[in-house]
Amino acid sequence: MSKPWTRRQVLAQMGIAAAAVHTLDPHELCCATPAWAQTADKELFELQKVGDGVYAAIAAPRYKTNCNAAVIVTNDGVVVVDSHSKPSAARALYKEIQGITNKPVRKLVNTHFHFDHWQGNQIYAEGNPGLEVVATQRTRENLTRPDAGLGGIPFVEKQVTTLLPAEIQKLKDDVMRASNPEMKARLESNLQQAEAYFQELKSFKPTLPTRTVSSTTTLQEGGREIQLHVFGRGHTDGDLFIYLPKEKIVATGDALIDWMPFMNDGYPEDWVQTLSALENLDFAQIIPGHGTVLPKSNLAFFRGYMADLIAAVRKAAGEGASLQEMQKKISDDLAPKYEKGMSKYPIGQYRDRVGVNVEMVLKKVVKKA
């Protein structure tokens, strides 16, 4: 299993969270890693074996979040699920994969369109002529749609032209203002990472899915059965689930993570149904989009949070509560059941996200905006 967060990391994160003056933008809420993240490049991923020839590449925290990947070795090649936020991260994992097998990567599956799950696609394509990049039809559309949300070619352009220059300027200001040397060092590291990420994105080569699926599809890959399940909307409107029936493993992308869910591009009510459909599959282990490998029982916990949140927002809206009142009350009411389990990492914690989740449910479920 992956290393637990050290007390020092957690304390450092808490101190910085308290000291930092942040304007929360959705990008930050989804995917930026806070100031403590300083993992060396060689430790970007921890490859964990979850079954015979099946690995979870658990992403270490970085300033720009990388997703987990699933790596499935077949008799004649490799299937990789998701490709991280940048080519250099994909390259680091690809190198690790080459350490376990010299077989070519034949398929790369993108679970959804968010930036931290597809921006490394080009690395696998460059190294593997004939690579198929597989996603849902909707994900392929989202990757080119200007208003899709936190991912896709238009979002890369937005990062390069506006978001990253502003973020880099803010980091420079924060470095100037930092009084504590430890914090200053971390901010400087983040600034360096942000600048490197900016440079990488400037020469980014969009590598879109070459094969799309619109409904559940079974692949026979070198003696291994891999099912691609489309259950409906959830974290996005194009979520794809990868299921290995023999090995009893699913890879879920961000439709199921070990953090608080990011709901801004999501469909909360559908999401609950989608997770119930997923639960009907016979599996034991989950490779989530973020966090460590989980047992199946975590599905009910994650879905329970969303179902309870929806019920609480509906009730509060029915009673005429304001958004601020709802955020305060619901955060506190759901905390005994969910705060501990949803705050295992210094990122994506319960209190960081519950307020925005309330706002999203109000907007998407009650007001149906």
Chain positions contacting Zn ion, by CB under 5 A: 67, 114, 116, 254, 289
Q: Closest approach of Cβ 176 to Zn ion, in Å?
A: 31
Q: Which is nearer to Zn ion, 53 or 289 (CB)?
A: 289
Q: Closest approach of Cβ 67 to Zn ion, in Å?
A: 5
The two beta strands, 241-244 and 249-253, are: antiparallel
Residue 285's DSSP bridge partners are: 249, 295
Q: Which residue is it, tokens 């942040």?
A: 22
Q: Which is nearer to Zn ion, 44 or 67 (CB)?
A: 67
Q: Closest approach of Cβ 56 to Zn ion, in Å?
A: 15
Q: Which is nearer to Zn ion, 68 or 190 (CB)?
A: 68
Q: Closest approach of Cβ 266 to Zn ion, in Å?
A: 9
Using an 8 Å Cβ cutoff, are 348 and 290 in contact? yes
| Tokens encoding 129 | 């002529």
| Tokens encoding 61 | 């925290």
Q: Closest approach of Cβ 178 to Zn ion, in Å?
A: 28
Q: Which is nearer to Zn ion, 209 or 289 (CB)?
A: 289
Q: Closest approach of Cβ 239 to Zn ion, in Å?
A: 9
Q: What burial letters (b/e) apply to 197-218, b meaning 16+ CB within 10 Å?
A: bbebbeebeebbbeebbeeebe
Backbone angles phi, psi at 312, to 5 degrees: -65, -40
Q: Which is nearer to Zn ion, 82 or 174 (CB)?
A: 82
Q: Which is nearer to Zn ion, 116 or 258 (CB)?
A: 116
Q: Closest approach of Cβ 337 to Zn ion, in Å?
A: 24
Closest C-alpha to 195, from 58, 42, 86, 120: 86
Backbone angles phi, psi at 210, to 5 degrees: -105, -10
Using an 8 Å Cβ cutoff, are 148 and 154 in contact? yes
Q: What is the DSSP string of 113-158?
A: --HHHHTTHHHHHHHSTT-EEEEEHHHHHHTT-TTS-S-SHHHHHH
Cα 225 to Cα 74, 136, 248, distances in angstroms:
9, 18, 11
| Alpha-carbon torsion, ordered 19, 21, 23, 26, to 10 deg | -20
Q: Closest approach of Cβ 235 to Zn ion, in Å?
A: 6
Q: Which is nearer to Zn ion, 34 or 289 (CB)?
A: 289
Question: Residue length, the chain?
Answer: 369
Q: Closest approach of Cβ 265 to Zn ion, in Å?
A: 7
Q: Which is nearer to Zn ion, 52 or 147 (CB)?
A: 147
Q: Which is nearer to Zn ion, 62 or 106 (CB)?
A: 62
DSSP state of 357: H
Tally the C-alpha atoms within 13 A of residue 61's C-alpha that lie toward its C-beta.
Answer: 22
